[in-house]
């Protein structure tokens, strides 16, 4: 019996030993797994850094047309703070016509721009002078750091600004350790005494003033583990804290903690790290924070939502005061600094800095253009800096005029739900300055500027007339504006009887008259004579390089295009026949500020400048005397603008495309359900176009005359060339080989003189005697 119990006991001990061995092996294996996880993630790419997207950099110089209020608006967008007296980079103050500004440094493609202290003096809506605040020396030009307008995030939408150990202010480090982990530099990842001490301190203070977990444990919890509360997770947390301390230095752990910790939410963007939180809440770099501001951020670690100063200021203030008490008790600040910090207002900034896609429609375009050169992973993990062409001043004007004018149009027509899209580009280089994909600028989603393809109506007519000029027609060529019946419409199924908008026939007219007044019958007769396929090819040459069915109805704009495609077509016309691809990006920098790609100017001559000059002159006549003449009620007639109205069947789409001396603009209005708007191109889209161009203070248009152009006086009734100017004449440009007859060339008079009074005409006639 004794032997039996002995053997049972021996087996039991052996079983326990085996179990212990198995458990030990499993534990060792688990620790090895945890160790591998720590080292692979901590030694590799610790964070996925979103690409940061910036607006164009604002350059300031004397005589720049920029009101102080507009400069303040742009400074606010760029995260500058308004102060009673500017004290650090990223701040400004203003009293009347004088502004003091301390710029922040920024690394541009052409090199770093150093911070500067500037005094800017305004005279009305212009900058009168810029001087160095310290030396008083005049500054010829100052370039500000661009506003961050968005970022491209990975799926978790985390954002942070990575700081190294040297960039962590000692005030932050001392405050952080005093509140969260006083034994950080002496423990090995776990601190049982800290748990006991924190418990006693919290009981004494009547509030939670200290935490029991070490900074290392908090880093493990946030960086490696989920937020699930369980015994298994706590055990893993303790093991990983020990492993982290074994492999890495205290400075590495402290720096990682400062960059990883969660400190709030900006819409869909998670604010991580003290560097970004400082800019988000205070519009200041971390090194520039006051003790009160630093105390607020450290205090938020206990509960970013519960102590959010933007949502629960009373709780945030109470928490800040508790942290300030700890800072004084541990000698982080002295009594004088403590009293000053306790009296400081909670939020000394004029508002938060939201970097989460302020202009979603424009950012959609940026992302699409980037996708041609970069993988999605590159855009959401590599910390790229995307310098774009967006001009905030133009963008704000577009947003304002689109929404306000649509509201007024809806009130006038009694129809609700009207939508719109706008694209404004630089005439000289194709840079897209502003874009609206809908009337509500912050509502991302369906981007009508890029994805809404609608019938363009008469916007296609410049391509029809351009094709005519390429085939020997002139602005004075006679065309019959009479009814006709075609065998097939755009579906190829039935007879088609096109009509003019006024339902009238105008008989024999000059080509320039058909152009200016947008006569459908004359246009379709002309297009059929030339060949629809040639007009389709012209549209492709102008920049809309895709297939279109060559039906007769194409000549009146049955083709569907997006506003972006229309903008490209009119940009080629505005550039004198040179194709300049539209672009929203200037350059891309890596996280280390190396230039990865420049999106330079690309120019290709697609159309003879002589024939384009004739088209552009025709579009000037659209505005001066044709369907766009009411635009002169918004902008001065002396601007000599060029443009074209467009209206689709049943008034479903209202379009206007045109250009000034420095801008090309396209506006579309319509309903998403394709119902009637009750608006023509002139009564809808053109009104918005005019309001925008007036608001951005565009330049008058002066067409550059190619060498192959000469002018002639033409009798408006007979369309014959005249040897001199008279009451019935009109002066038109011709390509030199296309003169109506051999009449002598008359020197060119100032534009639009034929519209002036008869007495003035007599005076002008005497100039040529």
CA–CA dist 28, 35 (Å, integer):
10
Neighbours of 324 (CB within 10 A): 26
- Catalytic machinery residues: 180, 458
CA–CA dist 723, 356 (Å, integer):
66
| 424 touches 400 (CB < 8 A) | no
CA–CA dist 344, 338 (Å, integer):
10
Structure tokens that stand for 84 in this block: 């009673």
| Structure letter (DSSP) for residue 93 | E
| 259 touches 160 (CB < 8 A) | yes
| Structure letter (DSSP) for residue 743 | P
- The strand pairing partners of 143, in sequence order, are 59
| 709 touches 736 (CB < 8 A) | yes
| 307 touches 297 (CB < 8 A) | no
- The strand pairing partners of 636, in sequence order, are none
Neighbours of 15 (CB within 10 A): 10
Written as one string, the DSSP assignment of 542-594 is TT--S-----GGGGGT-SEE-HHHHHHHHHHHHTTTEE---BSEEEEE-TT--
Q: How far apart are the first and last CA of the chain?
A: 146
Strand order through the sheet with 595-598:
148-152, 51-54, 385-388, 585-589, 595-598
| Structure letter (DSSP) for residue 382 | B
Structure tokens that stand for 303 in this block: 């509960």
- The strand pairing partners of 150, in sequence order, are 53
């Amino acid at each position: 019996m004794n032997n039996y119990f002995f053997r049972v006991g021996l087996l039991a001990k052996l079983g326990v030993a085996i179990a212990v061995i198995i458990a030990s092996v499993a534990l060792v294996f688990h620790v090895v797994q945890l160790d591998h996880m720590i080292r692979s993630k901590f030694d590799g790419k610790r964070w996925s850094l979103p690409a940061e997207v910036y607006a164009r950099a604002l350059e300031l110089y004397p005589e720049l047309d920029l009101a102080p209020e507009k400069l303040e608006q742009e400074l606010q967008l760029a995260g500058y703070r308004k102060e009673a007296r500017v004290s650090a980079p990223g701040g400004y103050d203003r009293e009347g016509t004088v502004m003091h500004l301390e710029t922040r440094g920024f690394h541009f493609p052409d090199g770093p721009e150093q911070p500067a202290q500037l005094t800017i003096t305004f005279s009305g809506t212009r900058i009168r002078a810029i001087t160095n605040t310290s030396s008083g020396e005049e500054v010829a030009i100052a370039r500000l750091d661009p506003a961050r307008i968005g970022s491209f995030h990975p799926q978790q939408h985390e954002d942070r600004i990575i700081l190294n150990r040297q960039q962590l202010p000692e005030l932050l480090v001392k405050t952080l350790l005093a509140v969260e982990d006083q034994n950080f530099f002496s423990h090995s990842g776990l601190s049982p005494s800290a748990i006991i001490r924190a418990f006693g301190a919290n009981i004494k203070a009547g509030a939670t003033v200290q935490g029991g977990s070490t900074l290392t444990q908090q880093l493990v919890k946030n960086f490696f583990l989920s937020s699930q509360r369980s015994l298994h997770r706590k055990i893993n947390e303790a093991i990983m804290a020990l492993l982290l301390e074994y492999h890495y230095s205290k400075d590495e752990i402290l720096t990682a903690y400062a960059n990883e910790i969660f400190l709030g939410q900006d819409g869909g963007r998670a604010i991580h790290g003290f560097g970004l939180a400082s800019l988000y809440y205070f519009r200041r770099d971390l090194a520039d924070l006051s003790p009160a501001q630093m105390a607020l951020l450290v205090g938020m670690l206990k509960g970013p939502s519960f102590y959010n100063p933007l949502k629960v200021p009373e709780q945030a203030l109470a928490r800040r005061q508790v942290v300030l008490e700890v800072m004084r008790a541990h000698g982080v600040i002295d009594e004088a600094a403590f009293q000053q910090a306790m009296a400081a207002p909670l939020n000394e900034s004029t508002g938060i800095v939201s970097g989460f896609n302020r202009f979603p429609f424009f950012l959609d375009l940026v992302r699409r253009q980037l996708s041609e050169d970069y993988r999605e992973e590159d855009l959401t993990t590599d910390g790229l800096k995307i310098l774009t062409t967006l001009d905030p001043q133009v963008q704000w004007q577009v947003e304002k005029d689109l929404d306000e004018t649509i509201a007024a149009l809806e009130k006038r027509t009694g129809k609700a739900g009207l939508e719109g899209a706008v694209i404004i580009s630089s005439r000289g280089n194709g840079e897209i300055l502003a874009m609206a994909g809908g009337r509500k600028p912050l509502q991302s989603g369906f981007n009508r500027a890029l994805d809404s393809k609608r019938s363009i109506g008469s916007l296609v007519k410049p391509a029809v007339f351009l094709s005519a000029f390429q085939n020997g027609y002139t602005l004075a060529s006679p065309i019959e504006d009479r009814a006709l019946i075609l065998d097939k419409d755009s579906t190829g199924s039935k007879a088609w009887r096109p009509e003019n908008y006024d339902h009238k026939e105008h008989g024999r007219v000059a080509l320039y008259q058909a152009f200016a007044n947008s006569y459908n019958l004359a246009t379709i007769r002309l297009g059929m004579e030339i060949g629809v396929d040639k007009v389709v090819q012209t549209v492709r040459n102008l920049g809309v390089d895709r297939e279109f069915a060559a039906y007769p109805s194409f000549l009146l704009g049955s083709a569907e295009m997006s506003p972006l495609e229309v903008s490209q077509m009119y940009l080629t016309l505005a550039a004198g026949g040179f194709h300049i691809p539209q672009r929203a990006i200037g350059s891309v920098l890596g996280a280390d500020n190396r230039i990865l790609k420049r999106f330079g100017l690309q120019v290709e001559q697609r159309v003879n400048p002589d024939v384009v000059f004739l088209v552009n002159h025709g579009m000037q006549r659209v505005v001066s005397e044709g369907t766009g003449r009411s635009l002169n009620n918004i902008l001065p007639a002396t601007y000599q603008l060029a443009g074209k109205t467009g209206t689709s069947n049943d008034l479903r789409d209202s379009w206007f495309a045109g250009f000034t001396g420095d801008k090309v603009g396209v506006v579309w209005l319509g309903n998403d359900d394709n119902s009637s708007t009750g608006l023509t191109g002139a009564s809808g889209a053109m009104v918005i176009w005019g309001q925008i161009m007036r608001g951005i203070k565009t330049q008058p248009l002066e067409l550059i005359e190619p060498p192959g152009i000469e002018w002639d006086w033409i009798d408006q009734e007979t369309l014959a060339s005249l040897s001199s100017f008279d009451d019935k004449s009109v002066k038109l440009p011709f390509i030199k080989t296309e003169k109506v007859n051999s009449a002598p060339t008359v020197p060119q008079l100032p534009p639009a003189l034929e519209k002036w009074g008869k007495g003035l005409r007599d005076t002008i006639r005497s100039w040529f005697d």
